[in-house]
Amino acid sequence: MVKKIIKNLTTTFRVNKSYKQWPGLIKAYKKWLPVNDSTPIITLQEGGTPLLELKSINEIIGKNVKVYAKYDGLNPTGSFKDRGMTMAISKAKEEGCEAVICASTGNTSAAAAAYAKKGHMRSYVLIPDGYVAQGKLAQALVYGAEVLAIKGNFDKALEIVQALSEKYPITLVNSVNPYRLEGQKTAAFEIIDYLGEAPDWLCIPMGNAGNISAYWMGFNQYFKAGLSKKLPKMMGFQAEGSAPLVIGKTVKNPDTIATAIRIGNPVNKEKANIVKEESKGKFTSVTDNEIINAYKLLGNKEGIFCEPASASSVAGLIKLKNEIPNNSVIVCVLTGNGLKDPDCAIKNNDAVFKSGIDPDLNKVAENMGF
């Protein structure tokens, strides 16, 4: 009798068998990637992230426009960097490498550290002292990276790691590593696979501008294979105090609340300018204030907690509202998870937070407004 009940329960409540576990992006998109059967696949099952419709943004824009967020903050280490890192680390492993190095504003170091450990390698990360969000630093430490904080900004750190990787037997996993962009291009595949067509606009934050270049590569590959009929306009956004690609020259002392894109001399600047030209896109800057407004809006209207750098894609879209053609389909890339930067969240929100309340039903009710 009991046995029968248990059997009924398990058959009733077992997960729908047609939902298999997402295998990670290398397995999912193998034929589009430079891997072969002997490549060891180092994966944390990254990719396959949600594409969420943003109804509150649709309303702000009107014109029958549909806006989606590609929520890449839901990757295993909380940013899109995992897409590139699964490729870079798998290829490094294939080539027999034992240690990797990167310069990072935080997310690259978290991803490099996690994937290096998964592949039984050492990882070294150089970060700008005092300018890495708490969550990201915590991750690099927990994943067992060897963390070196330098008294200089990201651009200086990158210069040093590039030289180190030429001098010592250690693989550089910054976005100058071509495998990073190969992995990251799969986000464009996922968007087309879901929508059935490329969007009209892709809105994306730019730091080193590797990701915008990777998306463009992905959109082009599907387009050439006949899997989409159009190519999106690539709309890149930077923070006003750190906008070398918008003003067309290096920024010596970049400054913004969006630390993930606090980069004054993007390594992929030539690539990015080609993307802008080929796609007939546009690069625009947004103020920290506009970034924070979009950040709050995503949180309290959509239930999406992203990091400030990510919110620049939505801030930028809102800024360009008047230029959006009617009936457009737009995807904003949300590059990283809000939990990465708790300090920013606690300083920038419109929440009701009352503390020091007596543990008493009436007192609590009173504070609730009853």
Ligand X SMILES: *Cc1c(COP(=O)(O)O)cnc(C)c1O
3 state SS of 235: strand
Could you tell me the smallest distance in angstroms from the CB atom of residue 335 to ligand X?
A: 3
* Sign, CA torsion 279/333/195/82: positive
Q: Does 338 bind ligand X (CB under 6 A)?
A: no
3 state SS of 227: coil
**Of the candidate residues 128, 199, 210, 299, the single one contacting ligand X (CB under 6 A):** 210
Could you tell me the smallest distance in angstroms from the CB atom of residue 369 to ligand X?
A: 37
Q: Does 79 bind ligand X (CB under 6 A)?
A: yes
Of 121-129, 140-148, 208-216, 247-255, the segment contacting ligand X by CB under 6 A is 208-216
Task: Give residue number: closest CB to ligand X.
Answer: 336
Of 35-43, 48-56, 126-134, 203-211, the segment contacting ligand X by CB under 6 A is 203-211
Q: DSSP secondary structure string, 68-134? A: EEEEGGGSTTSBTHHHHHHHHHHHHHHTT--EEEEE-SSHHHHHHHHHHHHTT-EEEEEEETT-S-H
Look at residues 180, 170, 167 and name the one whose alpha carbon lies nearest to residue 99. Answer: 170
Q: Does 335 bind ligand X (CB under 6 A)?
A: yes
Q: Does 107 bind ligand X (CB under 6 A)?
A: yes
* CB neighbours of residue 177 within 10 Å: 23
Q: Is residue 256 within 8 Å of residue 305, measured between CB atoms?
A: no
Contacts of 107 (CB under 8 A, 6+ apart): 77, 78, 79, 81, 136, 260, 335, 336, 340
Q: Does 207 bind ligand X (CB under 6 A)?
A: yes
Could you tell me the smallest distance in angstroms from the CB atom of residue 53 to ligand X?
A: 21
Contacts to ligand X from residues 81-100, by CB under 6 A: 81
Q: Is residue 243 within 8 Å of residue 251, measured between CB atoms?
A: yes
Nearer to ligand X, 65 or 187 (CB): 187
Q: Rounded to whole angstroms, how far apart are CA atoms 313 and 305?
A: 14
Q: Rounded to whole angstroms, how far apart are CA atoms 281 and 288?
A: 22
Could you tell me the smallest distance in angstroms from the CB atom of residue 83 to ligand X?
A: 11
Nearer to ligand X, 65 or 100 (CB): 100
What is the per-residue binding string for ligand X in 248-277, x denoting contact by CB under 6 A? ------------xx----------------
Q: Does 186 bind ligand X (CB under 6 A)?
A: no
Q: Does 307 bind ligand X (CB under 6 A)?
A: yes
Burial class (CB in 10 A: 0-12, 13-18, 19+), 215: buried
Q: Does 209 bind ligand X (CB under 6 A)?
A: yes
Could you tell me the smallest distance in angstroms from the CB atom of residue 15 to ligand X?
A: 32
Which residues of the shown chain bind ligand X in the complex (CB under 6 A)?
A: 79, 81, 107, 175, 205-211, 260-261, 307, 309-310, 335-336
